[in-house]
């Protein structure tokens, strides 16, 4: 059965035809469980075991009297299918330096960190505004040895992180689902994106403001190609 959510973007990427687009298109052709190699399968199983453990944890996230670890994991972590898409995208992109906005419980970060580890190189910096969430996420990403969590509001942590890193190859923006902040993060990160690079936006149809932000970003002349995976928007930055 053809996955229509993947098939149309994959065809468009093949038609775009750049090396980066073709690498991503090829990765999208390997989304099935049977396409996982033994190391990928074992790594993903470990992440999903961590997710299952977090879903069994009904303690409150430190600093909150209402949010449990279970609820934070269930409501805000990437579902398996979306996380595997993110994993495949990162494996195709092969970034040396990647950043993530919005760590939550560390599930999406772990999928990215696993991809980097299997590729043998790469570093992920993930930014989280809530110290309690970051504390839980530390236990999720710690096994990979290639990921650092930085705690604080994005307005305080993003620019210093970009200044320190110099350039990034890949960014996953998933933490502030409003139009104006999303557009601001796009401008900030784009200025420090190595060419060719990739910007990934989560929840692009989360609300009308995110719809508008995605329409603006995907039509920007500095974006050489954009594709919509319903939840995740992918922008190639190639010139």
Structure tokens at 222: 């500095």
pLDDT in tens, 210-232: 999 999 999 999 999 999 998 89
Closest CA to 203 of 170, 168, 227, 229: 229
pLDDT in tens, 14-38: 999 999 999 999 999 988 889 999 9
Do the beta carbons of residue 175 and residue 154 sit within 8 Å? yes
pTM of the model: 0.95
For the chain, the 3-state helix, strand and coil shares in percent, each to the nearest 5, are: 55, 20, 30
Closest CA to 57 of 132, 144, 158: 132
Confidence at residue 33, expressed as pLDDT on a 0 to 100 scale: 86
Work out the number of other CB atoms within 10 angstroms of the CB of residue 76.
17
pLDDT in tens, 59-76: 999 999 999 999 999 999
Closest CA to 31 of 87, 102, 105, 74: 87
Rounded-to-integer distance, Cα 210 and Cα 121, Å: 33
Q: What angle do CA 51, 45, 68 make, to 5 degrees?
A: 5
- In three-state secondary structure terms, 180 is helix
Rounded-to-integer distance, Cα 139 and Cα 121, Å: 21
111: Cβ–Cβ under 8 A, 6 or more apart, which residues?
44, 47, 78, 83, 84, 86, 87, 90
- State the burial class of residue 107 (Cβ atoms within 10 Å of its Cβ: 0-12, 13-18, 19+): buried
Rounded mean pLDDT, 40-44:
97
pLDDT in tens, 127-159: 999 999 999 999 999 999 999 999 999 999 999
């Amino acid at each position: 059965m053809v996955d229509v959510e993947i098939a149309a973007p994959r065809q468009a990427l093949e038609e775009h035809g750049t090396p980066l687009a073709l690498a991503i298109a090829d990765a999208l052709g390997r989304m099935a469980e049977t396409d996982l190699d033994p190391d990928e399968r074992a790594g993903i199983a470990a992440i999903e075991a961590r997710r299952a453990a977090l879903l069994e944890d009904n303690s409150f996230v430190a600093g909150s009297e209402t949010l449990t670890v279970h609820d934070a994991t269930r409501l805000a972590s990437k579902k398996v299918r979306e996380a595997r898409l993110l994993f495949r995208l990162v494996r195709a992109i092969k970034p040396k330096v990647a950043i993530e906005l919005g760590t939550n419980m560390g599930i999406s970060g772990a999928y990215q960190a696993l991809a980097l580890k299997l590729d043998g190189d790469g570093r992920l910096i993930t930014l989280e505004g809530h110290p309690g969430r970051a504390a839980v996420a530390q236990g999720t990403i710690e096994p990979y040895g290639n990921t650092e969590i930085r705690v604080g509001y994005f307005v305080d942590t993003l620019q210093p992180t970009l200044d320190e890193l110099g350039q990034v190859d890949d960014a996953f923006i998933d933490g502030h689902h409003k139009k104006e902040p999303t557009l601001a993060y796009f401008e900030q990160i784009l200025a420090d994106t190595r060419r060719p690079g990739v910007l990934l936006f989560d929840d692009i149809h989360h609300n009308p403001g995110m719809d508008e932000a995605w329409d603006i970003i995907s039509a920007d002349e500095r974006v050489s190609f954009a594709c919509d995976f319903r939840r995740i928007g992918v922008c190639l930055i190639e010139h």
